[in-house]
Amino acid sequence: ELILGIESSCDETSVAVVKDGNQILSNIVASQVKSHKRFGGVVPEVASRHHVEQITSCIHEALQEAQVDKKDLTAVAVTYGPGLVGALLIGVQAAKAFAWANDLPLVPVNHMAGHIYAACFAEKLRFPLLALVVSGGHTELVYMKEDASYEVIGQTRDDAAGEAYDKVGRVMGLSYPSGKEIDRLAPLGKDRYHFPRAMLNEDNFDFSFSGLKSAFINLTHNAQQRQEVLSQEDLAASFQASVVEVLVTKTIRAAKSYPVKQLIVAGGVAANHGLRETMKQKVSEQLPETQLIIPPLRLCGDNAAMIAAAGHVEFAKNRCADLSLNACPSLSF
Ligand code: ATP
Ligand code: MG
Ligand code: FE
């Protein structure tokens, strides 16, 4: 089975060919980060225009690199939400046109399911499992009883973890997206400021990052007024310590109360070294029976291989769409 995956929900145009749901034959990712940097965030109109310009050549490139002929494909899987409506529409229209022209089934995929299924390139998934999905727009704990079944047991009440990284990075004068740069600075500093650990002791699996963001902004603002220069490394270390402690503690607590075989950490923020290391350590200490899966760095951010992998299980369940498929910008599980 060969699935062509298409992803265009935000600022990455990506097309991949995946064999049997777990072998990546190609995974072309055209990032637009450079074009959005000077605006300090993703500009929807700019994103849509880039997708239009890139999508056709990404499809050709993905097929060529995989050395797969169009007529040997089994299905086309495409992200239809959540994301920017104009960006999603480019991928959805391209997928529909390609499926129609080549007489292939069209499989709609939830972008967040894609992030979770990135884990299947590292390990075979065993259920029930729990997934912590941490990205630019989401922070969710998802319980999966079986393939393609999703129950959100906790989520952020305000900002997503990646969004908090990007906002705090802006205050530090770092360029967008700043998660990676804060991650680089953090091990060079100390947790000197002890920012709040929101909702850590509450009896639920929800998160909140806006209080942390405010505490961070107040601290830097007050320092500025005193004309005091704070160490970027200590700020990064303190911010990251708070985010990581909350994410790891609540995820482990959830994994204990929903006994699961595997724990997945996925999404853009799963590329964070502090989170990866602490999660590995705490899971081996406190959940020795649970297998932790964190996708390799290049599969944590947005890419189409993960969409094809999620498409593989959707296709197996016969969940195909016809040509009336539309983008769903606020799609949830
Ligand atoms: P969503 O998946 O919720 O729709 P998105 O697709 O925009 O949102 P992703 O591409 O999955 O989000 O992730 C991007 C986010 O990951 C950004 O906020 C970025 O700052 C963050 N990020 C990337 N690398 C790291 C890192 N090493 N440490 C912390 N955050 C990181
Ligand atoms: Mg992105
Ligand atoms: Fe994403």
Per-residue model confidence as pLDDT tens digits over 33-73: 888 988 989 999 999 999 999 999 999 999 999 999 999 99
CA 7 – CA 172 distance, rounded (Å):
31
Q: Give per-residue pLDDT as tens, 291-326.
A: 999 999 999 999 999 999 999 999 999 999 999 999
301 lines ligand 1 (CB under 6 A): yes
pTM: 0.97
- Please give the distance, rounded to the nearest whole angstrom, from the Cα atom of residue 66 to the centre of ligand 3: 24
Identify the pLDDT of residue 85.
98
Is 173 labeled as ligand-binding? no
Identify the residue whose C-alpha is closest to ligand 1 atom 12. Answer: 136
Best mutation site among 112, 156, 207, 269 for ligand 1 pocket (most ligand atoms within 8 Å of CB): 269
Peptide bond into 296 cis (omega under 30): no
Question: 167 in ligand 1 pocket by Cβ < 6 Å?
Answer: no
pLDDT 10s digits, 213-267:
999 999 999 999 999 999 999 999 999 999 999 999 999 999 999 989 999 999 9
Compute how many other C-beta atoms are within 10 angstroms of the C-beta atom of residue 236: 26
CB 275 within 8 A of CB 244: yes
Interface predicted TM-score of the whole assembly (ipTM), two decimals? 0.99
Q: How far does residue 267's CA lie from ligand 1's centre (Å)?
A: 6
Q: Is 115 annotated as a binding residue?
A: yes
Q: CB pairs under 8 A, 24+ apart, for 95-104?
A: 95/6, 96/323, 96/325, 98/4, 98/6, 98/59, 99/75, 99/323, 100/323, 102/70, 102/71, 102/73, 102/76, 104/4, 104/73, 104/74, 104/75, 104/76
